[in-house]
Amino acid sequence: MATTITMPQLGETVTEGTVAQWLKKVGDSVDKYEAFVEVSTDKVNAEVPSPVTGTIREVLVKEGETVATGTPIAVIDEVGAATSAPSAPPQASHAPAAPAAAVAPAPAQAAPAFTNGAGSGATANGAEAVLRGASPAVRRLAREHHIDIRTIKGTGSNGRVTADDVLAASRMGPSAAVGQAIASSPAPAAASAPPGGTSTYGNPIPGTIVPLNQARRIIAERMVESKHTAPHAWSMVEIDVTNVWKWRTREKDRFERETGYKLTLLPFFIRAVVESLAAFPLMNAKFTPEGLYVNKDVNVGIAIGLATNLVVPVIKRADQMSIKGLAIAGGELIDKARRGKLGVDDLAGGTFTVNNNGANGSWASAPIINGGQAGIVTMETVVKKPVVRDDDSIAIRSMMNSCLSLDHRVVDGYVASGFLADLKKRLEKMGPEGSL
């Protein structure tokens, strides 16, 4: 009997999905529960498992095409069945069987033209040669870790990408691997664009159009919606993080040894944020036409910028976690994000967002609020500077700005500045002693 597969609904408010990649083609056999197509919605890719064992008879939607939820996308002939008209697709709710781990649009999708990283020549032919020369182990590992072989710098003979190279790249994550590839390549991206190839977000060519992929389209929609719906106001404080920084420095090696994750200032910051949110519950609220919905749970999203994408995974019930717990939860989510393994659940349910913006030296920023939240707070760069203290003495202190964009429908300046002041006080009280 032939079974029709329809576009699943991955997420409560999702109304459409895009076929990101067919994992099987017509004629291939597929086992029950085996993934046969990757579907993307809301910056998340999910692998869809087959409901039956059989052979792919028809593929109805092309890669890259977006269709409404419930639209037929494929027909599978069940094993042992005589060919007959496909059965009508089920009309029940489209809650899919647990989708497999999501795959973030890794370079393979968003930036296929990273030819420099191959190290075997700065031409597209070089990149293709790398792909052709890849050993079975390299191909398998690249497939398992969702890495484009062409983005990896090879350390084998004649610049060959080795299996160890793939494994090293997978540990760093695709954005880091890409960063490494860019860093290690002599020529800029433009010079090595494939002749007649497309401009991409990671490799934009002046004078061309970078086509919008699903992720970019959604980011654009959401940003417009947020800015045009919530009246954004902005405020900033300067925080003396010297003591908390000392605390962090004291703990970081042991922490890394014990958990495998890095200890940054972020979990300390989040700890302070959740305490301040408890003191200023309206900062954890949401504007609705019926009123301001004050969230019970404190689910803190961490904004993570990847090379070609922005994701905001959420630490659920962050207020109930210690600094150590926040560091581990955050570390896990960041690792997942880098490996493109964030699932729908990881991205949903945020009530407030933190953006650790300081990595590249930003001193102040005006972030756009995540739709449905009252505010978004940043950590800017930490700068050592001479500071006049209360007793008029001058000391060298580590200072960090923290900026807040707020939805002025939910809170006004009094609450917002109160929140920020509270956050500053708490952070300045942390460390240098203390337990995580």
Q: Does residue number 163 form part of the binding site for another protein (CB under 8 A)?
A: yes
Q: In angstroms, what is the minimal distance from the CB of 341 to another protein?
A: 22
Element (H, E) at 234: strand 232-240
Size of the site for another protein (CB under 8 A): 11
Q: Does residue number 149 form part of the binding site for another protein (CB under 8 A)?
A: no
From the candidates 31, 253, 297, 412, give the one annotated as an active-site residue: 412
For another protein, which residue of 84, 93, 157, 360 counts as binding (CB under 8 A)?
157
Q: Does residue number 162 form part of the binding site for another protein (CB under 8 A)?
A: yes
State how far the alpha carbon of 19 is from the alpha carbons of 8, 42, 60, in Å.
11, 13, 10
- First-last CA distance in the chain: 59
Q: In angstroms, what is the minimal distance from the CB of 150 to another protein?
A: 17
Residue number with CB closer to another protein (63 or 164): 164
Q: In angstroms, what is the minimal distance from the CB of 154 to another protein?
A: 11
Among residues 281, 308, 302, 303, which one has the least CA distance to residue 292? Answer: 281
Spatial distance between the Cα atoms of 208 and 416, rounded to a whole number of angstroms? 43
Site mask for another protein (CB under 8 A), range 112-141, x = bound = -----------------------xxxxxx-
Structure tokens belonging to residue 50: 């087959």
Residues in the chain: 436
Q: In angstroms, what is the minimal distance from the CB of 138 to another protein?
A: 6
With beta carbons less than 8 A apart as the criterion, state whether 364 and 236 touch: yes
Q: Does residue number 170 form part of the binding site for another protein (CB under 8 A)?
A: no
Residue 312's CB: how many other CB atoms inside 10 A? Answer: 21
Q: Does residue number 93 form part of the binding site for another protein (CB under 8 A)?
A: no
Would you call 412 a catalytic residue per the annotation?
Answer: yes
Burial of 310 (0-12, 13-18, 19+ CB in 10 A): middle
Site mask for another protein (CB under 8 A), range 319-358, x = bound = ----------------------------------------
> Residue 396 pairs with which residues in a beta bridge?
386
Q: In angstroms, what is the minimal distance from the CB of 116 to another protein?
A: 23
Q: Which amino acid is at 407?
A: D
Residue 377's CB: how many other CB atoms inside 10 A? Answer: 28
Spatial distance between the Cα atoms of 216 and 212, rounded to a whole number of angstroms? 6
Residue number with CB closer to another protein (161 or 416): 161
Residue number with CB closer to another protein (32 or 140): 140
Q: Alpha-carbon dihedral of residues 104, 108, 111, 114, nearest 10 degrees?
A: 140
From the candidates 42, 240, 408, 422, give the one annotated as an active-site residue: 408
Pairing verdict, β 314-315 and 300-306 = antiparallel
Q: Does residue number 23 form part of the binding site for another protein (CB under 8 A)?
A: no
**Contact region with another protein (CB under 8 A), list: 153-161, 271-279, 329-337, 355-363:** 153-161
For another protein, which residue of 72, 89, 133, 156 counts as binding (CB under 8 A)?
156
> Catalytic amino acids?
408, 412
Residues interacting with another protein, by CB under 8 A?
135-140, 156-157, 160, 162-163
